[in-house]
Chain A
Amino acid sequence: MKFTIQKSTLQGALQQLGKVVPSRSTLPILSSVLLSAKDGRLSLRATDLEISQIITVDAVMSAEGEVAVPQRTFLEITSEMPEGELTFEVQKNNQVQLTTAFGTYSIMGKPAAEYPSLPSVDRQQAVEIEGKLLRRVIDKTAFAVSRDDLKPSLMGVLFRFQEDNFIAVATDSHRLVRYTYHEPPKGGYVGDNIIPVKFLNILTAYLENVDMVTFNIGENHIMVQSGDTELYTRIIEERFPDYETVFPQDNDKKLVVEREEFLSAVRRVSIFSNRTTHQISLKLGADGLNLSTEDAETVSAAQEQVKGVFDGEELMIGYNANYLRDVISHLDSDTVKAEFSSAVSAAIFYSEQQREGEELTMLLMPIRLSE
Chain B
Amino acid sequence: MRLLREIIAEHRAVGDIHRMPSALADQIAAGEVVERPASVVKELIENAIDAGATRISVLVEQGGQRLIQVSDNGRGMDAADLGLAFERHATSKLRSTADLAAIATLGFRGEALPSIASVAKVVARSSTGPEEGHEITVAGGQAGAVKPAPPVGGTTIQVRNLFYNTPARRKFLKAPRTENQHIIEVVRRFALCCPQIAFDLTHGDKELFRLPASDLAGRIGAVFARRYKNAIRPVALSKEPFTVEGFVGNLSLVRGRPKEQYIFLNGRSVQDRLLNSAVYGAYRSLVSRGEYPFFVLNISMPLEAVDVNVHPAKSEVRFRDEWRVYHVLKLAVTEAIKDIPGMIPDFERPFGPAPFPAAGGPGLAPALPVDSGTLFEAAPKPAGGEGAGTAGKPGDTGGGEQRSLRPEAPYNPELIWQVHNKYIFSQVASGVVMIDQHVAHERVLYEEALKAFNGSRRPSQSVLFPQVLELATDEYSRLIDMIPYLERLGFRLREFGHQTVIIEGLPIDVAWGREQEIITDVLDRTDGRMEGAEVFEKMAASYSCKAAVKAGDPLTLEEMRNVVDRLFATENPYYCPHGRPTVVHLSAAELDRRFERI
Instruction: List residues of chain B with CB within 8 A of the CB of A171.
Output: 464
Among A246, A275, A365, the residue within 8 A (CB) of B562 is A275
Contact A151/B459 with A246-B464, A246-B465, A297-B569 known, Cβ cut-off 8 Å:
no
A368 to chain B, nearest CB (A): 4
A363 and chain B: residue at smallest CB distance: B464
Q: Complex: how many Å from CA A260 to CA B579? A: 50
Residue B526 CB within 8 A of the other chain: no
Q: How far is the CA of A368 from the CA of B508 in the complex (A)?
A: 10
Asked whether A308 is an interface residue with its Cβ less than 8 Å from the other chain, the reply is no
Chain B: CB-nearest residue to A365:
B462
Stretch at the interface among B201-209, B336-344, B355-363, B510-518: B510-518
- Asked if A352 CB lies within 8 Å of chain B CBs, one says no
Please state if B465 and A368 are interface contacts (CB–CB under 8 Å).
no
Size bracket of the A interface: 20 to 34
Give every chain B residue within 8 A of A345 (Cβ-Cβ). 462
Contact A368 B463 (CB under 8 A): no
The count of A-to-B residue pairs whose CB atoms sit within 8 angstroms is 73
Nearest chain B CB to A153 CB, angstrom units: 10
Chain B contacts of A173 at CB under 8 A? 463-465, 512
**Residues of chain B lying within 8 A (CB to CB) of residue A277:** 459, 508
Using known A-B contacts A275-B562, A276-B562, A370-B458, determine if residue A150 contacts B514 with beta carbons closer than 8 Å: yes
Q: How far is the CA of A193 from the CA of B561 in the complex (A)?
A: 37
Q: Report chain B residues within 8 Å CB of A318.
A: 459
Task: List residues of chain B with CB within 8 A of the CB of A369.
Answer: 459
Contacts of A172 in B (CB 8 A): 512
Cβ–Cβ contact B456 & A371, under 8 A: yes
Are A370's CB and B457's CB within 8 A? yes
Known contacts A151-B512, A276-B566, A370-B456; is A346 also within 8 Å of B464 by CB? yes
Q: How far is the CB of A361 from chain B (nearest CB, A)?
A: 13
Q: How far is the CA of A64 from the CA of B464 in the complex (A)?
A: 55
- Shortest A320–chain B CB gap in Å is 7
Closest CB-CB distance, A82 to chain B, in whole Å?
Answer: 37
B455, B460, B512, B513: the one within 8 Å of A367 (CB): B460
Contact with A along B455-478 (1 / 0, CB 8 A): 111111111110000000000000
Known contacts A148-B511, A150-B513, A275-B565: A367-B461 contact under CB 8 Å: yes
Give Cα distance in the complex from A151 to B514, angstroms.
Answer: 10
| B420 CB to nearest A CB, Å | 12
- Interface bits A340-369 vs B (CB < 8 Å: 1, else 0): 000011100000000000000001011111
**Docked complex: B529-585 residues within 8 A CB-CB of A:** 562, 565-566, 569
Contact, CB under 8 Å: B457 / A174: no
Tell me if B509 is interfacial: C-beta within 8 Å of chain A. Answer: yes
Q: Assess whether B511 is in contact with A365, with CB atoms less than 8 Å apart.
A: no
Check if B505 is an interface residue, CB within 8 A of chain A.
Answer: yes
Docked pose: A241 CA to B464 CA in angstroms: 10
Which A240-270 residues have a C-beta within 8 angstroms of B? 241-243, 246
Check A279 for interface membership: any CB of B closer than 8 A: yes
| Closest chain B CB from A235 CB (angstroms) | 21
Q: Given A148-B511, A173-B512, A297-B569, are A365 and B461 neighbors across the interface (CB < 8 Å)?
A: yes
**B504 an interface residue at 8 Å Cβ cutoff?**
yes
- Alpha-carbon distance between A346 and B504 when the two chains are bound, in angstroms: 11
Residue of A nearest to B455 (CB): A371
Chain B residues within an 8 Å CB radius of A368? 459-460, 462, 492, 505
Report the minimum CB–CB distance from A64 to chain B (whole Å): 41
- Contact status B461-A320, CB under 8 Å: yes
**Across the two chains, which residue of chain A brings its CB closest to B444?**
A276
Give the complex CA separation of A146 and B492 in angstroms: 21
B6 CB to closest chain A CB (Å) equals 74
A371 nearest in chain B by CB position: B457
Is A174 a contact of B464 with CB atoms below 8 Å?
Answer: yes
Chain B residue contacts of A320, Cβ below 8 A = 461, 508
Q: How far is the CA of A171 from the CA of B492 in the complex (A)?
A: 20
Expressed in whole angstroms, the minimum distance between the Cβ of A277 and any Cβ of chain B is 5
Please give me the residue from chain B that is nearest to A150 by CB atom. B513
Shortest distance from the beta carbon of B255 to any chain A beta carbon, whole Å:
37
Q: A148-B512, A276-B509 are in contact. Are A365 and B463 (CB under 8 A)?
A: yes
Closest chain A residue to B569, Cβ basis: A297
Contact A151 B513 (CB under 8 A): yes
Is A127 among interface residues, defined by CB-CB distance under 8 A?
Answer: no
- How far in angstroms is the closest Cβ of chain A from B266? 49
Q: How far is the CA of A151 from the CA of B455 in the complex (A)?
A: 33
Name A206-258 residues within 8 Å CB distance of B.
241-243, 246
Residue of A243, A346, A367, A368 with most partner-chain B CB within 10 A: A368
List the A side residues contacting B459 at CB < 8 Å.
277, 279, 318, 367-370
Compute how far the CA of A94 lies from the CA of B562 in the bound complex, rounded to whole angstroms: 47
CB distance from B252 to the nearest CB of A (A): 31
Q: Please name all residues of chain B whose beta carbon is closer than 8 Å to the beta carbon of A174 when the two chains form the complex.
A: 461-464, 512
Which residues 430-488 in B have Cβ within 8 Å of A in the complex? 455-465
Choose among B462, B464, B465 the residue that contacts A344 (Cβ–Cβ < 8 A).
B462
B562 touches A241 (CB 8 A): no
The docked-state distance in angstroms from the alpha carbon of A370 to that of B487 is 11
Query: In the complex, how many angstroms separate the beta carbon of B403 from the nearest chain A beta carbon?
Result: 26
- The docked-state distance in angstroms from the alpha carbon of A246 to that of B464 is 7
Interface pair A367/B462, CB less than 8 Å apart: yes
The docked-state distance in angstroms from the alpha carbon of A222 to that of B458 is: 44
> Does residue A176 face the partner (Cβ distance < 8 Å to B)?
yes
| Interface of chain B residues 255 through 285 with chain A (CB within 8 A) | none
> Would you list which residues of chain B between 488 and 507 have a CB under 8 Å from chain A?
492, 504-505
Partner of A365, one of B455, B457, B464, B509: B464
The contact sample of 5 A-B pairs, CB cut-off 8 A, is A148-B513, A173-B463, A344-B504, A367-B508, A370-B459
Q: Beyond the given A173-B464, A367-B462, please list 8 additional residue pairs across the A-B interface where CB-CB is below 8 A.
A: A148-B513, A151-B512, A276-B566, A320-B461, A344-B492, A344-B505, A363-B464, A365-B461
Which are the 8 A-B pairs with shortest beta-carbon distances? A150-B513, A365-B462, A368-B460, A370-B459, A371-B457, A173-B512, A148-B511, A241-B465
Residues of A within 8 A of B (CB): 146, 148, 150-151, 171-176, 241-243, 246, 275-277, 279, 297, 318, 320, 344-346, 363, 365-371
